[in-house]
Structure 1
Amino acid sequence: MAEKQHLYLVDGSAYIFRAYHRLPPLTNPEGTPVGAVYGYSTMLWKLADDLDKADGPTHLAVVLDKSSHSFRNDLYPDYKAHRPDPPEDLVPQFPLIRDATRAFSLPMIEEPDVEADDMIASYAIAATKKGWDVTIVSSDKDLMQLIGQCADEDLEPGVETGGCIDMLDTMKDARIGREEVEEKFGVPPELLGDVLALMGDSVDNIPGIYGVGPKTASKLINDNGSLAAALDAAPDMKKSKLKERLLEGRESAELSRVLVELKKDCGLPIALEDMKLDGIAPEPLAEFLELHGFNSLLKRLEAGSGSPGRTTNLEGRNRADTEGAAASPGGNVQPLPDMPDVDRSAYETVQTMERLQEWIARAQAAHRVAVDTETSDLDCMVCDLVGISLALGPNDACYIPLAHLNEDGGGSDMFANPPQQVGKAQALAALKPLLESDAVLKIGQNIKYDINVLARNGIDIAPIDDTMVMSFDLDAGRSLDGIGGGHGMDELAERHLGHTCLKYKDVCGTGKKAIPFGEVPLGKATEYAAEDADVTWRLHMHLARRMPMEGAARIYQRVDRPLIPVVAAMERHGIKVDRAELSRLSETFAEEIGRLEKEIHAEAGQEFTIGSPKQLGEVLFDTLGYKGGKKGKSGQHSTDQSVLERLDKEGAPIATKVLEYRQLSKLKSTYTDALQAAINENTGRVHTSYSLVGAQTGRLSSTDPNLQNIPIRTEIGRQIRKAFVPDEGNVLLAADYSQIELRLAAHMADVETLKEAFASGEDIHSRTAKEMYGEVTRDSRAAAKTINFAILYGISRWGLAGRLGVEADEAQDMIDTYFQRFPGIQKYIVRTLETVREKGYSETLFGRKTWFPRISAKNPNERAGSERAAINAPIQGTSADIIKRAMARMNPALDDAGLGHVRMLLQVHDELVFELPKGDVEAASPVIERVMAEAALPAVELDVPLGIEIGHGPSWDDAH
């Protein structure tokens, strides 16, 4: 039987815009913008590489839009009328993207006056009639109408069985079939066009029927069987808004149905047979990559690793041409240590104590080992340990299963056949001396997770290195190799190793068919788990070489690395919350929300969905006639916070109530409801997760739940903080740096008047008010406080005007006066921006780099945003470094004072929260204050003292 043919049709137009928005502005050696071209090339590269490893295509083509006109514009002139013109710097990249497609030796289809979707549909239907299967590489909902179609008539001569169509969403790495379409839209693909016709589409300006959303549309089609039947049934419906809309909008829906229908009989400019994949010729691709300066991709092509032409290796080209240069905003180009390609078949499954002891002995002798844990859950506080992987070098890795349920996978029922594996307790007892040995470095990727998992199993893993944190300290804010600026393993492996890792869903599946890792067959589990350790070992070799050469070792060794086990311990201990108090607050908030909803509807003179920006905008600006209701690109009025605050100041009572409604709704859903659900059933406490790489400036971020955004200054926020309580007999103690960023600004900008004020304990906002206004009043001090902080964030005249409620010219006068009184601040801002433009990064007093690849962007909004962030980053980053140093030093200092039982629970911006017996407050307070006040020493000696405010009480709120 002949090989089954499989055609892949790539929605190239979608790729272009994804690539453009994914990357910062880049230019080639000639100065032409190429950011989207680079992103497009890397996406094609990854697609080809993924398909090469999987059951790939026999035929493939890229389909692009050639023009903005199609038959739909003739039917409905307003079709796509509201779509904005492409960005100015994207326009010159369109021809280069076509060049990139040709460089990959891929067929490219684009026809005048025909949309790419229609070409894809026509080719897909034609291919299925030849008996070929078709995969559409896209996530476009319009193309989902084709999914699951299998040709069963009009087959070509000699074809017995027609082919079928599915979809591949490369951004989510997900296959989309009939089941996924039904789950998303509530109808099978063949009825999706009817649903889309009812819904309409604001992006393409397809009208649909006003007020009919996805759920209503799918219900109508399911109840009636088709669009026509649903419209025909409308006259007999009970009187309702929906009936009125269906009757009034019938013509609009029928037009929309024609507009969303895919044209399936377009002419085929390239024969299907001519789309056959015969490998990608290396020379045209190399020439293209070299021409545009895409050196990292060129290096991968030459190495024949992780590339479309995986077996190619260009002769006679000197790799040194693309290696060895210093790091730059464009990305790391330090040479990668010579290592073989990843070979998953080389990994070992360790199933006996004898083999485990041999691995342990080798790791002890090597003095370094990469470690990774496999668990039953992403939450390290509730998960079970399923297995551990180790790596001692490239492809020298193993997986130690500890709790797998079936030799060949397939579930955990009574007929399961558990595999041979070392007993969990026995294995952990054998591993404990290795993992706790001071003589062996343990390397992990996000090792904080593994620290917590192993700690719950009686192992205190140390000393450690973390490749995720090392990457962050090298490249925070920098987008590299077109892959993005993230620090997850998959991104780092792609960026630095040219390798695509197995993904969790590749071995465990997704959705209803997903299985726990403990039910994965051992062979597949070993490939996945051991690869994680192998890749971590390789990344460590690469990143550890870069650290001293690029000046990142200082911040890593002095600030971030010592903090990892400290933060892990804080997460494990958690903090107690009063469930009854949270429940009471949720009920109170619900009552207030209900009251506000009625009052808002009364102000509007009608009922509407307050949470809908579209409906709220129509009420505010169309119905009630408030001024300033500008519409955005979507055609909707903006109703964001700033708009509502402006209307509130102008005396619009409905805006005041909507602001309060939004705040209460957010607090209820995000905190009072969510915190109850987050209480760990075993500990009775909430265990947040801190990220050391979540904020570009180095600040810790908190998730699951986020405890850092609870409002501080509002009465409602204080009520929520009252629900955070200690165990019986204890109190909570809060220690807060006072105005630390202003103190650092005085030091870093060398502003004598501010340094004197801090040294003498003078109120800094009063001093600023006196300098600017000549007198200190309540109003002048409040304005000075706003200006003090706003200037450090590089605020514009309009931003300051909005905060102070003055005209822009008056705000500019205030900024000018401020700089006259404190010229050091203006010099600091100018100097900082000049340095960032020259080097591409800012730096804290402790050497933390934050990269700003958009600091010279042509887009003024992007450039201004980068400039504001660059002004503040050294100050905010230094503040973050100081509190991190205090945290790392806190437990040893408390231990030395005989207060080892005092627990550090939370870090929230400039504040640390502790739990301790009430009787120890007097002894612990001076220790905590001293550690925080001296945290910068001896690395940095500040010209200003660091002020610390300490309070304690029976709740977090009472501690302030």
Structure 2
Amino acid sequence: MSSNHLYLVDGSGYIFRAYHRLPPLTNRHGMPAGAVYGFTTMLWKLVDDLHKADGPTHLAVILDASSRTFRNDMYGAYKAHRPPPPEDLVPQFPLIRTATRAFSVPCIEEEGLEADDIIACYARAALAEGWQVTIVSSDKDLMQLIEPGLDMLDTMNNRRLGRDHVIEKFGVPPELLGDVLALMGDSVDNVPGVPGVGPKTASQLINEFGSLDAVLQNAETIKKPKLRESLLAHADNARLSRELVRLVCDRPLPEPLDALKLKGLPPEPLREFLAEQGFKSLLLRVGGEGQPGRSVLAEPAVAAAPVEIPEEPAFDHKSYECVTSEATLDLWITEATAEGRVAVDTETTHLDAIRAELVGVSLATASGRACYIPFGHVGDGLLSETPQQLPRELVLAKLKPLLENPSVLKIGQNLKYDLILFRRAGIDIIAYDDTMLLSYDLDAGLGGHGMDDLCKKHFSHDTISFKSVCGTGKSQITFDKVSLAQATEYAGEDADVTLRLWQRLKPRLSREAATRVYELVDRPLLAVVAEMEMAGISVDRAELSRLSADYAVEIARLEGVIHQAAGGPFTIGSPKQLGEVLFERMGLKGGRKGKSGVYSTDVNEMERLAAEGIEVARLVLEWRQLTKLKSTYTDALQQQINPVTGRVHTSFSMAVAQTGRLSSTDPNLQNIPIRTELGRRIRDAFVAAPGHVLLSADYSQIELRLAAHMADVPQLRTAFAEGQDIHNLTAQELFGTVDRDTRGRAKTINFAILYGISAFGLAGRLGVDRGEAQAIIDRYFDRFPGVRNYIALTVGQVREQGFVTTLFGRKTHLPGIKGKTVSERQAAERQAINAPIQGTSADIIKRAMVRMGPALAAEGLTSVKMLLQVHDELVFEVPEADAAAASTVIRRVMESAAEPYVRLSVPLGVEIGTGPSWGAAH
């Protein structure tokens, strides 16, 4: 075996890891340089600090030359869903190439090939010469290359990856990994794969049949019907996917192997590069603060000193401690108290915090140092014994002083869930941070904020999946039946990741001007929303049942009318059959087929046909709405009544909607249609408890009011101050007269403009041609020039910096503004126009919710409960005798919610109604 050892660095992985691990630094020229600085320190460590006995003799950094390769010619949708790189990262790519060459390290890229292919070519060539090869990456596609003489180095977790790792992770050896990846597909790279086939199923199939080809040849023999049908239907996609994941390894090398010989760290041109960038602390390593004649170098502008990438210990699941003795529990509590902060996570029996039972609690006091305290585990099966663990009452009694200690910061991920569990157990957590909300307030629009997504993004680490611990489908078990060993690794990792995320995210708040929205809006809202979810709301089961029966009758009637109008029966809910009926049997024009060959019958298509007077289309839309109302609400709500409380408990998601709004799930109470009588009747089923009424408090036209303030429109400000009808004013300004028709058109225009609607879109809304719609928009801007200026400034802002902000400083990132297509960029512009307005509205109602409890308590109205938040509306349950007094307090709090941090030039109007049901109060 040759003594030569080639290290091939997957440059893209290094770049994105560096970018996400550092704050947005700038170099001494004011250019973005955080990723450059991070990449430089990481490459330096690799080149200079690897143990010499095992270090490289040859090394190259491999990069992607462009986003288009031969795979795009093979499959046009390849990587089509990947978002563009962050705007401030793009100008750093050339500097990173310069940085690599400053280390006297080859930086290799090749048009038409991905970096993975170039790595494969060099790896095969080096192995053929008898060299050892190490690929510096943890990318699964590159694991196909592992063989004797070739391993991978995961620098993030400081571990070597070999054949055993691939078998453990994917269930097959490296030579069969490509077949597994082809079956799995890859949503990130848009590799289609076979729907419904995940890693576990894919590896089982390959192990059973030996190869992808054999799997497809024997698909007919597979017993599971869905799996068999999916394999048969998507065999071509599987074969295509196999070619997409296959690495090219036989192309000519861009540089000969000998050209990759590592030359150490020659001071030049490294010193010159570091001086040019202003990386002072790195420059000291090469023995100089600058070249003769240069001025003193500045540090990166955003930080007082360059931020070194923190050295995180690798994730070691075996190191997490399972606490089963009181003495050990006391030690952990003492340690957490001394540290002054502790990450906390709960394990339970159910995703619904109102129904779930606590099984155990995990804590983390430092990166890599975590424990799991089980107290609710049972044996898995009749014959298995309950594992040894501390009593539930003892653990909770010991944890209560820690969790309620105001001098110890509790850190959670999606902490609302844990707040509810502990509140139900008699523990009120105070002094806390939520890493999910930290991420949301820093990076809304730049990806998900769940633990798995954040861990992958910030640490390049895949967390243990819940499915791998508890299984799936009929064989799935609840967490109380998981073995303590497995539970400790899973729960300990949750707490460990949470603490690491907090250490990474919390320092960014002040640097990125996100402190105000986090501290004044989102963090204090956590406990408020937890209380609302625990309170729930009563529903009238009998009324729901009556509605379901009424809907069923009407649905059946509609089906008969539709079949008659369509010339015969068909399955209305089948898009395929509906499309064939409309565009083949009935011969309607304008039908368009998708890639699957099925006519589109989506809502846009059906509304187009309905607008053209096609009765079947109008009836189908009505049928769809009724069937959705029945299945989603009148039927489902009856099943969602909690058997213990007798109420429905929705879950409010605080980090989903990009603009800052809360969203509601299980059930979704924010999408109940209220424009139709049938939809409004569902609200009648939400009722007050005996002796109480429901109170609805709704901001009146808040987005138009905010637009008048933010766009500085004098006419609109005056109209709102004087209590005028804003739509009447707009109708007078645009059409010179006010009647039912012009007011309705004005209302449509007012809201459409705030959503950045185009002339084409407005034409469809108003039923006019595109020229007339454009004339209306021009006239609107002439009458209200402030709106035009606001739109121009906002679009300019998002194009320049990639995000827009609310009056409270909430950022909404819109990466689509740099999209490849015109439609993608225009969609981002439309979002940018509305996001500051809608986001400020969301911030204001959140501040009202935070202030509401103390304000009501100050007036002795402690029996008033806030139950729901739906867009611009708050719903309360109020004792009948307190309705008048509560209305006064609620109106005052909502009208002044923006102050003192934001003083609006228009008043906020609040409409309040009360009644025995939500429908009656609204």
Q: What's the TM-score bracket when you normalise by the shorter of the two chains?
A: 0.7 to 0.9
Deviations, residues 325-360 of structure 1 (Å, cap 9, x unaligned): 759xxxxx9754443223333322211112212222
Matching residue within 350, 361, 377 for 1:388: 361
How does 1:474-873 map onto structure 2 within 5 Å?
A: 474-478=442-446, 485-873=447-835
| Distance 1:546-1:104 versus aligned 2 partners, 3 A rule | farther
Deviations, residues 709-763 of structure 1 (Å, cap 9, x unaligned): 0012211111111111111111100000000000000000000000000000000
- Measured after TM superposition, the shift of residue 649 of structure 1 is 2.5
- Measured after TM superposition, the shift of residue 466 of structure 1 is 0.1
| Distance 1:572-1:137 versus aligned 2 partners, 3 A rule | farther
In the alignment, does 2:393 pair up with 1:425? Answer: yes
Contact map agreement 2:349 2:480 (CA 8 A) in 1:
yes
- Measured after TM superposition, the shift of residue 625 of structure 1 is 2.0
| Distance 1:687-1:68 versus aligned 2 partners, 3 A rule | closer
Match of 2:50 in 1: none
Counterpart-to-counterpart distance in 2, 1:666 and 1:751: 41
Counterpart-to-counterpart distance in 2, 1:84 and 1:460: 50
How does 1:42-53 map onto structure 2 within 5 Å?
A: none
Contact map agreement 1:168 1:176 (CA 8 A) in 2:
no
- Measured after TM superposition, the shift of residue 931 of structure 1 is 0.3
Letter in 2 for 1:433: P
Counterpart-to-counterpart distance in 2, 1:736 and 1:833: 30
- Measured after TM superposition, the shift of residue 656 of structure 1 is 1.4
Counterpart-to-counterpart distance in 1, 2:176 and 2:394: 51
Matching residue within 112, 117, 135 for 1:101: 117
- Measured after TM superposition, the shift of residue 192 of structure 1 is 6.0
Match of 2:377 in 1: 404
| Distance 1:381-1:795 versus aligned 2 partners, 3 A rule | same
Match of 2:340 in 1: 367
Contact map agreement 1:334 1:546 (CA 8 A) in 2:
no
Letter in 2 for 1:429: A
Q: C-alpha root-mean-square deviation of aligned residues, in Å?
A: 4.5
Letter in 2 for 1:374: E
- TM-score normalised to the size of structure 1? 0.71
Matching residue within 376, 385, 396 for 2:349: 376
- Measured after TM superposition, the shift of residue 316 of structure 1 is 9.1
Match of 1:463 in 2: 431
Matching residue within 176, 179, 198 for 2:202: 176
Q: Any idea what SS the aligned residue of 1:389 has?
A: strand
- Measured after TM superposition, the shift of residue 921 of structure 1 is 0.5
Match of 1:50 in 2: none
| Distance 1:94-1:85 versus aligned 2 partners, 3 A rule | farther
Deviations, residues 466-509 of structure 1 (Å, cap 9, x unaligned): 0000000000012xxxxxx1111122122223333222223223
Counterpart-to-counterpart distance in 1, 2:370 and 2:239: 53
Contact map agreement 1:337 1:542 (CA 8 A) in 2:
no
Matching residue within 165, 176, 197 for 1:134: 176
Q: Any idea what SS the aligned residue of 1:898 has?
A: coil
Contact map agreement 1:168 1:174 (CA 8 A) in 2:
no
Contact map agreement 1:508 1:520 (CA 8 A) in 2:
yes
| Distance 1:168-1:84 versus aligned 2 partners, 3 A rule | closer
Q: Any idea what SS the aligned residue of 2:350 has?
A: coil
| Distance 1:334-1:954 versus aligned 2 partners, 3 A rule | farther
Counterpart-to-counterpart distance in 2, 1:460 and 1:88: 43
Letter in 1 for 2:869: Q
Contact map agreement 1:404 1:520 (CA 8 A) in 2:
yes
| Distance 1:635-1:597 versus aligned 2 partners, 3 A rule | same
Paired residues, what number?
748
In the alignment, does 2:412 pair up with 1:413? Answer: no
| Distance 1:176-1:945 versus aligned 2 partners, 3 A rule | same
Letter in 2 for 1:511: G
Deviations, residues 671-722 of structure 1 (Å, cap 9, x unaligned): 1111111111111111111111110000001111111000122111111111
Letter in 1 for 2:827: G
Counterpart-to-counterpart distance in 2, 1:142 and 1:398: 34
Contact map agreement 2:580 2:599 (CA 8 A) in 1:
yes
- Measured after TM superposition, the shift of residue 655 of structure 1 is 1.1
Counterpart-to-counterpart distance in 2, 1:855 and 1:439: 44
Contact map agreement 1:388 1:400 (CA 8 A) in 2:
yes
Letter in 1 for 2:176: V
How does 1:160-239 map onto structure 2 within 5 Å?
A: 173-176=199-202
- Measured after TM superposition, the shift of residue 846 of structure 1 is 0.4
Counterpart-to-counterpart distance in 1, 2:204 and 2:782: 67
| Distance 1:448-1:84 versus aligned 2 partners, 3 A rule | closer
Contact map agreement 2:183 2:194 (CA 8 A) in 1:
no
Matching residue within 298, 309, 312 for 1:339: 312
- Measured after TM superposition, the shift of residue 615 of structure 1 is 2.0
Match of 1:353 in 2: 326
Contact map agreement 1:84 1:633 (CA 8 A) in 2:
no
Counterpart-to-counterpart distance in 2, 1:900 and 1:260: 61
Contact map agreement 1:693 1:700 (CA 8 A) in 2:
yes
Contact map agreement 2:110 2:118 (CA 8 A) in 1:
no
- Measured after TM superposition, the shift of residue 816 of structure 1 is 0.4
Counterpart-to-counterpart distance in 2, 1:770 and 1:561: 44
Contact map agreement 1:721 1:957 (CA 8 A) in 2:
yes
Counterpart-to-counterpart distance in 1, 2:599 and 2:805: 40
- TM-score normalised to the size of structure 2? 0.73
Contact map agreement 2:579 2:600 (CA 8 A) in 1:
yes
Q: Any idea what SS the aligned residue of 1:388 has?
A: strand
Deviations, residues 424-458 of structure 1 (Å, cap 9, x unaligned): 01111111111112221111000000001111111
Contact map agreement 1:352 1:422 (CA 8 A) in 2:
yes
Letter in 2 for 1:611: G
Match of 2:102 in 1: none
Counterpart-to-counterpart distance in 2, 1:540 and 1:86: 31
- Measured after TM superposition, the shift of residue 766 of structure 1 is 0.3
Contact map agreement 2:194 2:237 (CA 8 A) in 1:
no
Counterpart-to-counterpart distance in 2, 1:556 and 1:577: 34
- Measured after TM superposition, the shift of residue 599 of structure 1 is 1.3
| Distance 1:326-1:69 versus aligned 2 partners, 3 A rule | closer
Q: Any idea what SS the aligned residue of 1:685 has?
A: coil
Matching residue within 441, 452, 477 for 2:420: 452
Letter in 2 for 1:365: A
- Deviates most, 639-648 or 779-788: 639-648
Contact map agreement 1:169 1:175 (CA 8 A) in 2:
no
How does 1:280-319 map onto structure 2 within 5 Å?
A: none
Contact map agreement 1:688 1:703 (CA 8 A) in 2:
yes
| Distance 1:767-1:66 versus aligned 2 partners, 3 A rule | closer
Contact map agreement 1:571 1:687 (CA 8 A) in 2:
yes
- Measured after TM superposition, the shift of residue 391 of structure 1 is 1.3
Counterpart-to-counterpart distance in 2, 1:852 and 1:946: 29
- Measured after TM superposition, the shift of residue 938 of structure 1 is 0.3
Deviations, residues 364-409 of structure 1 (Å, cap 9, x unaligned): 2222111100111111111111100111112222111111224xxx
Match of 2:169 in 1: none
